[in-house]
Structure 1
Amino acid sequence: MLNCKGQHLEAANYAYASLRQAIFESAFLHEANFSRATLIDANFKQAQLSEANFSGACLINPDFSAAILDGAHLQEADCLNAVFKGASLVGADLSGAKLFNAILTGVDLSNANLNEVDLTGATLFNATLNGTSLKGANLCGADLEGAHLQNVNLHQANLSRMDMGHEGYLMAPQGHSSSIRDTDLSEANLEGAHFESVDLQGDDFHGSNLKHAFFQGANLNQSHLEQVNARDTSFEGTDLCSAMMEGAYYDTHTRFPPRFDPVKGRMIDAGSS
């Protein structure tokens, strides 16, 4: 078993290595190369991994708790049951990475590249994703309770069955607020997603699938909902006066706030279809 706890290993080369239960806890691994490596049960707690290269690596049960991964490269990495609790991944490139069931509680992913990343079932409780690109990402069943996603690009992302709060609802913890302001959610799959009391001001939902979605108490001021599928969608408790909904489809099961007229909003009645 390799034990490098606390060691200075700047630019160390572990490319294509196969290591089991390696310990890199608190090690200095700036610009270290782990590309295409296979690491099973590796311990990277509190390690300094800024600009490290994990591209194409196979990481099974790795623990990156409180690690610094700013600017790190994890493109196409396979991170099975990975733990990143409290880690910093500012500006990191995780495009195409597989983070199925990953624990990303309290992580800072500001300005990171998460295009095409698979975050199915991942936990991003209180995570910071401001300025992050998630184009084409899969967040099906992900938990983003209390997460901040301002100026995020979620174009063509899959957020179906997304869980952003207790009992499947997007609710902020007491004393906090969930914010997804000025975000590109166009053409995203948001079927069944819950956005209760979330700040969605200025978001672009153009052409997205909002079937069965729940927006009770959400802030949709100046949001773009043109041509969305709003069949069986709940907008109860919202203010849609400044939301743009021209060409959006609704049916007899769509719930609107009192005094909102979908015809005046130039929405399209899809009947009971």
Structure 2
Amino acid sequence: MGVRTIMGASGQASGVAVKAADQQDRLARMRESLRNHLLHLAGKGGKRLNLMMSNVSYVILENFDFSRAAMVACNFSYSNLEGAHFRDADLTNSLFIRTNLVRADFSGAILNGVRFHYADAQEATLDETRMKQGSVMVYRDDVAGGGRREQTLVQETDLSNSNFEGASLRGADMSGCRIRNANLKGADLTGADLKGADLSGSTLAGAVLTDAALSDVTVENTIFDVTPETINALQMNDGFRRFLDVRAQAKDAAELHRAWVDSGGKDGTRADFAGRNLRGIDLSGLMLATVSFAGSDLSGARLSNAVLAAADLSGAVIQYADLSGADIRGANFAEAQVQFSSFQGVDATPLALRNGGSLPTRFDGASLRNCDLRAPTLTATMLSGAKVADCEFDGA
């Protein structure tokens, strides 16, 4: 069945052996139940998996079929469940912390009260899932009456800080969910019910929102594509209107900056975006040479083919941004935090100065993770002062 422990997942070598030994004992006790569940699904007898409050953490069960299983309040944290099937399973109040759920299938599953924290559910299928608040009935002795009293504990569904890029959530009931700082880039939310959900800080660039219910959603610092569809659905939402206002103001400032550059400083005004919240801003193709973005938040920004020559992006936060084809000659990215962003085809050659010298593009102290750095002018020497991890790179 491919049941193994994930060695070293806790990041603490001293605790790995203990976790591994404990998990082996738990898996040995569970193995027969898993076999019986597969027999049940195959129509060969067996018994449907029925677990409650079980610890299924730190295991590898890639592609395992948990379909129709009852696994209420189970802990799947730090497990590798890539490609696993949870179709029509009951996972009420279950916990997934840093769990690998890439391409997992949760179609029709009950996910009420589930908690995904830093889980990777890229390209997962969650069509028609139910993600309302979960509840558990707790029975306690009634001291006064001598009998038993019933208490209901309610757990909020929380998908915060998790990766759902490219996932399918068609028809999912996510009403009232907490989905803060999640990556829903390119996700299919067709017909999803997001009424009252908290999407603060999340990225929905490229997400399909056709017929999605978006009334009363919280969208502070949320990144959207501005389409007729989103404008129609969110035109009365205060957070979305503030997002549109920031975009419009930045566009106006960029136009004045172009006039300032073209006139040699005689007309227009030099733009200064230092320390600004520019999440989801679209400045693609614009003249932004010498503009300061120092310490600004450019998460989800579109800067493709923009002129950023000699621009100051030091200390900026640049996540899920598109700088493909941009002119970044002489730009300063020192100490910038850059993740999941595209620099494909940028021009990073030294910027020639009027005095005959040149200004190099700088990345000293910057952190670049999971970025597309496929540009011939982005050389290893240029990036030597940066921390580069898990990036695509073809420079010399």
TM-score over 0.5 (shorter chain): yes
Aligned residues: 197
Structure 2 CA distance for aligned equivalents of residues 112 and 128 of structure 1: 11
Aligned to 2:182: 132
Structure 2 CA distance for aligned equivalents of residues 120 and 84 of structure 1: 15
Partner-residue secondary structure (3-state), 2:106: strand
With structure 1 as the length reference, what TM-score do the two structures score?
A: 0.63
Alignment partner of 1:91 out of 110, 115, 118: 118
Query: What amino acid does structure 2 have at the position aligned with 1:222?
Result: V
Quick check: 1:147 aligned with 2:197?
Answer: yes
2:235–2:241 contact (8 Å) kept in structure 1 = no
Structure 2 CA distance for aligned equivalents of residues 78 and 193 of structure 1: 31
Residues 202 and 30 (structure 1 numbering): CA distance in 2 closer, same or farther, change over 3 Å? farther
- Output one character per residue of 1:74-124: Cα deviation in whole Å (capped at 9) or x when no partner: 100112201110111111111000111011124211110000000000011
Aligned to 2:55: 28
Structure 1's unaligned 5+ residue stretches are 1-7, 165-169, 172-177, 205-219, 228-243, 247-273
Quick check: 1:10 aligned with 2:27?
Answer: no
Query: What amino acid does structure 2 have at the position aligned with 1:78?
Result: D
Structure 2's unaligned 5+ residue stretches are 1-20, 42-47, 133-155, 252-280, 284-396
Residues 29 and 184 (structure 1 numbering): CA distance in 2 closer, same or farther, change over 3 Å? same
Alignment partner of 2:102 out of 57, 75, 89: 75
Residues 136 and 194 (structure 1 numbering): CA distance in 2 closer, same or farther, change over 3 Å? same
**Higher-helix-fraction structure:** 2
Partner-residue secondary structure (3-state), 1:190: helix
Residues 181 and 54 (structure 1 numbering): CA distance in 2 closer, same or farther, change over 3 Å? same
2:121–2:163 contact (8 Å) kept in structure 1 = yes
Partner-residue secondary structure (3-state), 1:222: helix
1:39–1:62 contact (8 Å) kept in structure 2 = yes
Residues 180 and 9 (structure 1 numbering): CA distance in 2 closer, same or farther, change over 3 Å? farther
Aligned to 1:175: none
Structure 2 CA distance for aligned equivalents of residues 95 and 225 of structure 1: 34
Aligned to 2:168: 118
Partner-residue secondary structure (3-state), 2:66: strand
RMSD: 3.3
Partner-residue secondary structure (3-state), 1:59: coil
Structure 1 CA distance for aligned equivalents of residues 22 and 51 of structure 2: 10
Residues 223 and 63 (structure 1 numbering): CA distance in 2 closer, same or farther, change over 3 Å? farther
Query: What amino acid does structure 2 have at the position aligned with 1:59?
Result: F
**1 or 2 for the larger relative contact order (CA 8 Å, sep ≥6)?**
1
Identity %: 21
Structure 2 CA distance for aligned equivalents of residues 94 and 29 of structure 1: 17
Structure 1 CA distance for aligned equivalents of residues 65 and 228 of structure 2: 33
Structure 1 CA distance for aligned equivalents of residues 64 and 164 of structure 2: 21
Alignment partner of 1:181 out of 220, 225, 233: 220
Aligned to 1:222: 246
Structure 1 CA distance for aligned equivalents of residues 236 and 113 of structure 2: 25
Q: Which moved more, 1:76-85 or 1:51-60?
A: 51-60
Bigger Cα Rg: 2
Aligned to 2:69: 42
Aligned to 2:207: 157
- Structure 1 residue 192 displacement after superposition: 8.4
1:200–1:223 contact (8 Å) kept in structure 2 = no
Partner-residue secondary structure (3-state), 1:69: strand
Structure 1 CA distance for aligned equivalents of residues 93 and 224 of structure 2: 30
**Higher-strand-fraction structure:** 2
Residues 130 and 182 (structure 1 numbering): CA distance in 2 closer, same or farther, change over 3 Å? same
